[in-house]
């Protein structure tokens, strides 16, 4: 497995975890109404979006390098 493949897999899993924790934070905010849960949810969702943007830029930069 190349470093490029590992990097894309790691960024994909990290963004899924960010979106999952953001969704959990939103669910907790809906139950409790705590501002801390809302901030956690926003941070998770923004982190997931940021990781997707980073992954797309990374792929564009290294499009000439193979995945093997």
pLDDT confidence of residue 8: 92
User: CA 28, CA 26: separation in Å to the nearest integer?
Assistant: 5
Per-domain boundaries in the chain: 31-63
pTM of the model: 0.85
Assess contact for 13 and 52: CB atoms under 8 A.
no
Q: Which residue has the tokens 């894309």?
A: 8
Assess contact for 51 and 14: CB atoms under 8 A.
yes
User: CA 35, CA 54: separation in Å to the nearest integer?
Assistant: 28
Q: Which residues of the chain have pLDDT under 50?
A: none
pLDDT confidence of residue 3: 86
Task: Identify the DSSP state of 65.
Answer: S
pLDDT confidence of residue 63: 85
Can you read off the two tokens belonging to residue 58?
């990374």
pLDDT confidence of residue 21: 97
């Amino acid at each position: 497995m190349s470093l490029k493949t590992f990097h894309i897999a790691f960024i994909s899993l990290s963004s899924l975890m960010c979106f999952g924790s953001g969704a959990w934070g939103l669910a907790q905010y809906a139950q409790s109404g705590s501002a801390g849960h809302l901030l956690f949810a926003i941070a998770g969702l923004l982190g997931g979006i940021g990781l997707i943007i980073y992954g797309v830029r990374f792929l564009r930069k290294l499009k000439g390098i193979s995945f093997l």
